[in-house]
Structure 1
Amino acid sequence: MSNEQTKTDVILIGAGIMSATLGTLLKELAPDWEIKVFEKLEKPGEESSNEWNNAGTGHSALCELNYTVEKPDGSLDISKAIKVNEQFQLSRQFWAYLVNRNLIHNPNDFIMSLPHMSYVQGEKNVNFLKKRFEALSTNPLFEGMEFSDDPEILSEWVPLMLQDRTLNEPIAATKIDSGTDVNFGALTRMLFKHLQAHNVELNYKHSVNNIKRTSDGHWDLKIKNLDSGIVEHHKAKFVFIGGGGGSLHLLQKSGIPEGKHIGGFPVSGLFMVCNNPEIAEQHHAKVYGKAAVGAPPMSVPHLDTRYIDNKKSLLFGPFAGFSPKFLKTGSIFDLITSVKPHNVLTMLAAGAKEMSLTKYLIQQLMLSKEQRMEELRAFIPNAKSEDWDLVIAGQRVQVIKDTVTGGKGTLQFGTEVVSAEDGSIAALLGASPGASTAVHVMLDVINRCFPQHMKEWEPKIQEMIPSYGISLVENPELFRELHASTAQVLGLSESIVNQTHNVSGGTRVLEKA
């Protein structure tokens, strides 16, 4: 054991997309600060950020039906869709800045243009989708969206989905060509390569075992080198806990009051992946359906074209699984050891409230491959079992906390930042839209934890992210300009711009005659 203690400005725990993004932002804002990264695994981007563990949708609310909620009066609340879309635009702008400055290269290795579609069956769902289309398509952020309930048009959009389909109920879809597929694993590796070239110390196979505050207000981290077995002590002014599902335990060890009364519920995901390249070649879109009645938002079925290592793949899912681990590489004791005296009532309340989720998970766990194939056939009617394999995706930990609206033990389906009052430590918890909104989330961390620097940093933030602090929905011309310029830099199709020239109002309704 080593008693030697090294001091640094910033320690980032976990080498995923969040730490990579925060480290890159801080390197631009405070180039002289010393930054160290500690990761338990042997390379970056191996847990939730990995391309096989992450849907890579580039979540921008173009196709996710659960971001637009029908209100009791029948109207639609599109505020979450607008919020998520604006947040993704910040990511696009920051990535374009990095490419422009030659800090990262070859953007098509991590981002590709890909149509985003919503697809529904049944009269009630078709009416909902049309209403959603009407609410979104007049909004500048969703210009270029098309709607159709004509099977002939749909068979042009998604031929694989219409092949051999028996049309005994109405079907409809929306399509918008400005969607993207993002390989967050590749992006994470690029960002860490950039950070390493700019004197950021990356320590792989290092496990953070404990965090405690020192008398001078800094943080002492007890870290084990997994190769040598030596335990080291590292001291930092600021610590970011970005270890995916592993963040909750470290937040609890920090002892900050803000980390109390918070629990976590792990859910694992399974995907079907097509092993027949001829079939994968027939589909070119991310198509999101509607979650089954009573199913949680995380279960929205989607048929995704993916580009992984520049190779086209086709995935369908997710199917939920259950493991008590908080990370794919975690321990089976993760869930039980996260229950503490301060959060036990919160956890018990969630257990009582979420019986339907428990039932759903049990049902999902008991599905045979053939039953999963039946769900896939709602999207691809003639799907053959031998063309599809099962892949275990990432482990996500849904946050459980007491809220004003939901009461004690409310399950949260989003991304949460928990930070100390003095801003010396912050932790990232939760799940989707996560990686897609990493830049927004890390700007929030910077705002909370470094308020004393914000006045000095704001001009640089605006240089990197031109719409920072500006509502794009209220500034449509700025949105179009930034969307076009980032598309050019990132090698994406400028479909919004093109379609606003070609189509009246930027939208088309394509219906049966």
Structure 2
Amino acid sequence: MYKLLGQTKKVREIMMNEQTQIALIGGGIMSFTLATILKELQPSLQIQIYEMLDDVGLESSMAWNNAGTGHQALCELNYTPRQKDGTINISKALKINQQFELSKEFWAYCVRNNLLDAPQSFINPLPHLSFVADSNVTFLKDRFEALRQSPLYAHMLFSQDREQIAQWAPLIMEGRDPNQPVAATFMDGGSDVNFGAIVTQLRANLAKKEGVGIFLSHKVADINRSSQGWELKVIDTKNDVHKRVQARFVFLGAGGGAFPLLQKSAIPEGRGYAGFPVSGLWLACNNKELIDKHATKVYGKASVGDPPMSVPHLDTRIIDGKKELMFGPYASFNTRFLKYGSLLDFPLSVRLNNFLPMLQAGLDNIPLTAYLVRQIFLGKNGRMDKLEFYMPSARQEDWELKIAGQRVQIIKKNAQGRGFLEFGTEVVVSADKSLAAVLGASPGASISVDVILEVLEKCFASEVQTHYDKLKEMVPSCQNTLEQNIANFNHQRAKTAQTLHIPFAGI
């Protein structure tokens, strides 16, 4: 089993051969959600998880690397664009609302079955508020009128009354020009989520399961077809051990790190895809008085000409039991696909099959390039100017800069064959269903259960059919239509909210 390959004064490399039924690459929310669901459906499965860092959940799942918003389209204005005919399109909001509900249902199942700890350790109730001023007031009112036609938003509140808005979120009204038109919507059923805590807790549970291996400091360097499905070349970076791992099914859930591995797999379905990396920065508040005064997530509207990803927000966070306050994100750019990745990630991802789509997407997104350039050269004063729109009384000494996580936006071909930039999350599956990759960014972690259900339906159809009753126990609303979910609204959402200790108002 062991074969000495070579020896130098500093490094001794040993080759090991291993086998597993399922190999999951990446130690984040996607991989651990998939592993947990699979082991609940079929406890005898052999699963191995490989993470290149020395702990799990340190990339996109880590609390300070994301906004922690339970994305349910309660406050995110980019999910409800105004159409050319002047109407507000709420279809994406309705979809995302249901997708996040699936995540909450699964987490509630995990709490009831001791797969996750007490709810407050990873999810906390927090109102979601949308705030606009000046010319955007009309947009927010039209959005409110469109959304409240759906039972999912029946309890949304709208106000232009300054005193009412100040009760909802005092910091955004203190010191504001009394003549400035303002408006806000308020939803009491929102949440703040620590996805890193979910990963850590799911890992602790899986580590007790027979047939599960969790390998830290293990980098997957290559992936190739084999007679048994796939052969992974894995490097144990701490012990200088090289492994060949044979797996029947491979899941690429490593965030931006999934792109180069998808390319190395050479599946036709991955041809033409490219990734555009964007990093981020937060302003984190260090003034406890301000932190205690704010208790909501306040989302605004992207400035004219800025991309949807630039939506600013002033957020209360609950991280490891401590209340925090942050504002952002401010975009930045480097060529890494992961926060702890390599500067060569982006250049090495360029291929003949994706160069043209990348070029076309770049030409069609010149405003995005201009936005990133402006953000890169944004100094302290520029960042404070952004914050002061949401918090006019903000002082620079109360805030410090934190580096957020790395996001990789999808570039792919549209129906006409032209490359375009996709803002969202997508699953790519090989024709033989033996490999699946999750690409993209927001809403990302919030809809992790919906993403994993798609992987299951595409790659484990027979297992899903065989264990369908168990799957419905874990995620009762899976495969339901919008009408079915609304019909079960009071019963199912109330049950989930009760388990997770989140407010619920029936219809």
Q: How would you bin the TM-score normalised by the shorter chain? A: over 0.9
Q: Does 1:398 align with 2:409?
A: yes
Partner of 2:253: 242
Partner of 1:464: 474
CA offset digits 1:359-379 (Å, max 9, x no partner):
110000001111100110001
* 3-state DSSP of counterpart to 1:378: helix
Partner of 2:497: 487
* 3-state DSSP of counterpart to 1:281: helix
Contact 1:16 1:44 in 2 (8 A): yes
Residue 225 of structure 1 aligns to which amino acid in structure 2?
Answer: D
Instruction: Give the alignment of 1:279-358 within 5 angstroms.
Output: 279-358=290-369
CA offset digits 1:273-303 (Å, max 9, x no partner):
1010111111110010000111111100100
Distance in structure 2 (CA, Å) of the matches to 1:476 and 1:307: 30
* 3-state DSSP of counterpart to 1:476: helix
**Structure 1 residues 385 and 180, CA gap change in structure 2 (3 angstroms):** same
Contact 1:114 1:286 in 2 (8 A): yes
Distance in structure 2 (CA, Å) of the matches to 1:125 and 1:354: 23
Q: Which runs of 5+ in 1 are unaligned?
A: 501-513
Q: Does 1:442 align with 2:452?
A: yes
Most deviating of 308-317 and 476-485 = 476-485
Q: Which runs of 5+ in 2 are unaligned?
A: 1-12
Residue 203 of structure 2 aligns to which amino acid in structure 1?
Answer: F
Q: Does 1:375 align with 2:389?
A: no
CA offset digits 1:116-143 (Å, max 9, x no partner):
0111101x31111111111112311113
| Aligned partner of 1:418 among 414, 423, 428 | 428
Partner of 1:507: none
| Aligned partner of 1:215 among 204, 227, 231 | 227
Q: CA deviation at 1:473?
A: 4.5
Residue 453 of structure 1 aligns to which amino acid in structure 2?
Answer: E
Partner of 1:508: none
Instruction: Give the alignment of 1:28-427 within 5 angstroms.
Output: 28-122=40-134, 124-199=135-210, 200-216=212-228, 218-404=229-415, 407-427=417-437
Contact 2:477 2:485 in 1 (8 A): no
Contact 2:14 2:240 in 1 (8 A): no
Residue identity (%) = 50
Distance in structure 2 (CA, Å) of the matches to 1:257 and 1:475: 36
CA offset digits 1:151-197 (Å, max 9, x no partner):
01111111111111113331000000000000001111111111111
Most deviating of 417-426 and 132-141 = 132-141
* 3-state DSSP of counterpart to 1:197: coil
When normalised by structure 1's length, the TM-score is 0.94
CA offset digits 1:36-75 (Å, max 9, x no partner):
0000001110001110001110100000001112112211
Residue 333 of structure 1 aligns to which amino acid in structure 2?
Answer: L
Partner of 2:31: 19
Q: CA deviation at 1:484?
A: 1.2
Distance in structure 2 (CA, Å) of the matches to 1:20 and 1:194: 10
* 3-state DSSP of counterpart to 2:30: helix
Distance in structure 2 (CA, Å) of the matches to 1:133 and 1:210: 49
Contact 1:5 1:234 in 2 (8 A): yes
Contact 1:472 1:479 in 2 (8 A): no
Distance in structure 2 (CA, Å) of the matches to 1:475 and 1:372: 42
Distance in structure 1 (CA, Å) of the matches to 2:469 and 2:491: 20
* 3-state DSSP of counterpart to 1:76: coil
Q: Give me the CA root mean square deviation.
A: 1.2
Residue 94 of structure 1 aligns to which amino acid in structure 2?
Answer: F
Residue 343 of structure 2 aligns to which amino acid in structure 1?
Answer: I
